[in-house]
Amino acid sequence: MKAAVYTKYGPPDVLQIKEVAKPVPKDTEILVRVHATTVCTADWRVRKADPVVARLITGLWKPRNNIPGMELAGTVESVGKNVTRFAAGDEVFGGTLFKFGANAEYSCVGEDTLDIKPRTMTFEEAGAVFFGAVTARYFLKKAGIQPGQKVLIYGASGSVGTFAVQLAKHLGARVTGVCSTGNLELVKSLGADEVVDYTREDFAKAGQIYDVIMDTTGKVAFARFLKTLKRGGFLALVGYSGFSAASMLRQTWASITGAAKVISGVARGTSDDMRLFRELIEAGRLKTVIDRCYPLDEIAEAHRYVEKGHKKGHVVIVVRQPSR
């Protein structure tokens, strides 16, 4: 099968399109013929080993998993002997988590991170749900959002942000989205009650106090968030800056003093997430924002674009057009 492959860390050019062996599903896995996948933030960070400490997980000297890609949509080709929920021919969507391997013609996915593709979505739209929606839901759930609470999503126009705005609205929150000028209309169209243009206004000077703040950018000083967060409110640090030593110290101090309950860590998806997303999508309450589509052969170009950090929603890799 054809796959994007990299055997060393480095710039987008380390990615090559190669013929490799088709994977064989384990007893609990599903082999999916991939129609659409994405280049997400985790793909370029791992390809570049950024931050360098991530090598402890992804491979010290070279990447442990050589095919990138964390999310996909496609058709079930075959299933492992213990799989009960899927059968050959099912149209599915989901993610591979830190096994990666989705940027290929075939990929093996665990039963827990896969569901039947929403009938209202194209493969391109469905293939871009997992990474951003799972992350957004994980952090919003930890913050225990209640109807009527005021929630600020800082970085509302990327993969995580576009889903966070929609999912927070679904939970009944009053949502403010922060993004750049060109994305204000997009974020409003996703349901945000208010939008703040970070290139023109300082969200911390607007006099608002939020019950929950989610930062997807890692670009704002901790103290600026505390100024505008209700005392003891939830601060979700989604960006990897949440893992730095300085940030850890501030998080501990904020907890000790009762200033904020800080949520960081790595999101994980479950079958429960996938089922909820399918229901919301089919009810017209959750949608995927697609910025650009690239063919698999142009994956290095897609990485170059995504790494700039300003994509609107998602960048999709179209592997194969379905045959109808």
CA gap 217, 240 in Å, rounded = 8
Give the binding range for ligand NAP (CB under 6 A) out of 54-62, 65-73, 237-245, 279-287: 237-245
Q: In the set 96, 103, 107, 135, which binds ligand NAP (CB under 6 A)?
A: 135
Minimum distance from residue 132 beta carbon to ligand NAP (Å): 6
Residue 196, interface with ligand NAP (CB under 6 A)? no
CA gap 178, 156 in Å, rounded = 6
Residue 267, interface with ligand NAP (CB under 6 A)? yes
Q: In the set 5, 30, 32, 40, which binds ligand NAP (CB under 6 A)?
A: 40
Query: Where do the H-state alpha helices sit in the chain?
Result: 41-48, 55-58, 123-126, 130-142, 159-170, 184-189, 222-228, 245-257, 271-282, 299-307
Q: Cα dist. 181→67, 76, 150, 178 in Å?
A: 35, 41, 22, 10
Opening angle at CA 193, ends 189 and 194, nearest 5: 100
Residue 160, interface with ligand NAP (CB under 6 A)? yes
Q: In the set 179, 274, 299, 319, which binds ligand NAP (CB under 6 A)?
A: 179
Residue 310, interface with ligand NAP (CB under 6 A)? yes
Comparing CB distances to ligand NAP, the nearer of 9 and 240 is 240
Residue 198, interface with ligand NAP (CB under 6 A)? yes
Residue 67, interface with ligand NAP (CB under 6 A)? no
Write the DSSP assignment of 172-188 as a string of letters: T-EEEEEE-GGGHHHHH
What region, left, alpha or beta, does residue 56 occupy, with left being phi > 0 and alpha being psi -120 to 50 degrees? Answer: alpha
Instruction: Say if residues 131 and 287 touch (Cβ distance below 8 Å).
Output: no
Minimum distance from residue 118 beta carbon to ligand NAP (Å): 21
CA gap 164, 194 in Å, rounded = 14
Q: In the set 76, 126, 152, 238, which binds ligand NAP (CB under 6 A)?
A: 238
Residue 219, interface with ligand NAP (CB under 6 A)? yes
Residue 183, interface with ligand NAP (CB under 6 A)? yes
Residues that bind ligand NAP (CB under 6 A): 40-41, 45, 132, 135, 155, 157-161, 179-180, 183, 198, 216-219, 238-240, 266-267, 309-311
